[in-house]
Structure 1
Amino acid sequence: MLLNHLNFTIDFLSKLNVHLCLLSGDPSRTRMIAEKYLRKSELVCDNRGLLCYIGETSLGMPIIAATSGMGAPSTSIVVNELAQAGIEVIIRVGTTGSIQKYIAPGSLIVNYASLCKQGAAKDIAPNEYPSVASPLLSTDLYHTAKGIHPSVYFGINASVDTFYEGQERYGNANPHLLRKQQGLIQEYQHLNILNFEMETGTLFKMASVYKFHATSICGVVAARYSGNEESEKIMHNIVDDVTDKTILSALKTLENIQSGKLILNN
């Protein structure tokens, strides 16, 4: 049977013994992972911008680098089809905006849970169903990242549906945010929420319901706490370096699974 959007058969990955996935929102990041970090990489899907490559890590482990697209609806489609195809571990590798003032652009954030404000997740589980990562996978990823990068944080994100209103952005096409979105960043600071992003909350709920392992690591490319959109221009200077470190951390965690250093209980 051919998967509806990823355009490979449901048994294709299992025949190649591929059960681990690096998931990125941006197709260019997926391509970069394949070209820079995987050996013998092969493009197996290019449908609707949902690039997927199969390749090997430095230890010879086969994995898939896949594109989720932007936001929860697209993520829910891709993750569902990856789960149908037998994927057992997904690590989201993304970018994010920091909410807490002590987290500067250029840092890494490993999220072990989400404040999930995403419509797609409501079709997966009730609102009150926890949006949490796999604890052993997340802890290993955090410690692995700390061995690669000097500034790594571990905590909860706000996973939202919109880039502008849902992240309290001003100075765009909508100058009149709803009252519930005004002061949102300060409210989340008091709740000890570390960062904004747009996919993880739904991914975590899907992992728990579908019974696979998932976590997320993101490079901080914007200081959302500053209230000054000009500060986000810093992302152009640090995005390449921080992306490299997120990918290296995720790959090493997958290799820890292969080598037996990390045992995940089903």
Structure 2
Amino acid sequence: MCGVTRVLPFGKQMFTGCSREDVAPAVLLTSLEEVYEEASNKLKSVSGEVRGRGGFASRKGKYHNIEIMVMKTPIGAPATAIALEELYRLGARIFVKVDTALGLQRKLRPGTLIVPIAAVRAESVSKYYAPAEYPAIPSYKFLQVLDKVTVRGSGVEPTPTVVMSTDMFYLTVREEYERWAKLVGAVDMDTAALYTIAQVRGLHAGALLVIDSSVWSGPREEVWLEESEESVVKTREEVISTLRTAVNLGLEALIVMYEYLKSEKAIERLEKTRGQKRLVSL
């Protein structure tokens, strides 16, 4: 079912359930309940929760006196696409995704924070937005902002890497992923769609992902079974701790990006006004 023609541009949206008053220009996206609650708890003056269809939920509040929206989506590229499209209609322009990924390279152990600098478009959604040759890359300015708020702001230095986005959560052909490990650092399900759609729609998007398991420890359905209970608990704690850090960094990045775009628009208005004054004087 395609809902494009059935949704009013500025009215209540079909899946997210959001109307214009529910949306802020800057949005933190996640598929994780832990991240959704952690980010929501950091907001002030939070409005009531909006419950959409199929697992969508959102809250809007203020972070450092700037309106921020936090949205939980179902997992996968289709849900990310729905969130972007519906929130874009309602005025959202800046997005950061805070989520998890599967590590392909040995150096990316569980608990490692990564910044995807590009994504292999191995999922099925982005092909409807751009040709296969089109690269899935984040907003260049957003990458600069993430670098500023991580290394300079918090002392945390995420690992920049290329990720591969697929429609599969569980590994099926281990050899295939080991081959890709020579080229990409991790696998997720959403980043390629996030970056491609943002580029096509003229939005600013970035991502902060935490490695929650690794192919070197076993496929996701086995990774926890291969280790002792004590080791599993320790790893889980490391992942949760890094996710909390990612939430803080994501919110800070949204604020910096919002302020940058606001000042950029102010400069444009000033230049336009000056240009009009020059024309009048002529």
CA deviations 1:50-82 (Å, max 9, x no partner) are 11000111x211010012210011111111101
Q: 1:120 aligns with which of 116, 125, 129?
A: 125
Match in the other structure for 1:221: 212
Match in the other structure for 1:174: none
Match in the other structure for 2:194: 203
Q: Distance in 1 between matches of 2:33 and 2:87?
A: 16
Unpaired runs of 5+ residues, structure 2, are 1-10, 269-282
Unpaired runs of 5+ residues, structure 1, are 170-176
Residue correspondence of structure 1 range 179-190 to structure 2 within 5 A: 181-190=173-182
- Cα drift, residue 4 of structure 1: 0.8
Match in the other structure for 2:276: none
Match in the other structure for 1:39: 44
Q: Distance in 2 between matches of 1:4 and 1:51?
A: 13
Q: Distance in 1 between matches of 2:93 and 2:87?
A: 9
Single out whichever of 20-29 and 253-262 deviates more from structure 2. Answer: 253-262
**Counterpart contact for 2:38–2:244, Cα < 8 Å:** no
**Counterpart contact for 1:95–1:197, Cα < 8 Å:** yes
**Counterpart contact for 2:118–2:137, Cα < 8 Å:** yes
Residues matched between the structures, number: 245
**Counterpart contact for 1:131–1:205, Cα < 8 Å:** yes
Matched-pair identity in % = 20
Q: Distance in 2 between matches of 1:241 and 1:205?
A: 29
Residue correspondence of structure 1 range 1-266 to structure 2 within 5 A: 1-9=11-19, 11-13=20-22, 18-35=24-41, 37-47=42-52, 48-57=54-63, 59-146=64-151, 147-148=153-154, 150-164=156-170, 169=171, 177=172, 181-191=173-183, 193-227=184-218, 229=223, 230=226, 233=232, 235-260=235-260
**Counterpart contact for 2:94–2:205, Cα < 8 Å:** yes
CA root-mean-square deviation: 2.4
Q: Distance in 2 between matches of 1:259 and 1:201?
A: 26
**Counterpart contact for 1:23–1:68, Cα < 8 Å:** yes
The TM-score normalised by the length of structure 1 is 0.83
CA deviations 1:207-249 (Å, max 9, x no partner) are 0111101010011221223336235935422122111110111
**Counterpart contact for 1:88–1:212, Cα < 8 Å:** yes
Aligned residue identity for 2:76: G
The TM-score normalised by the length of structure 2 is 0.79
**Counterpart contact for 1:71–1:198, Cα < 8 Å:** yes
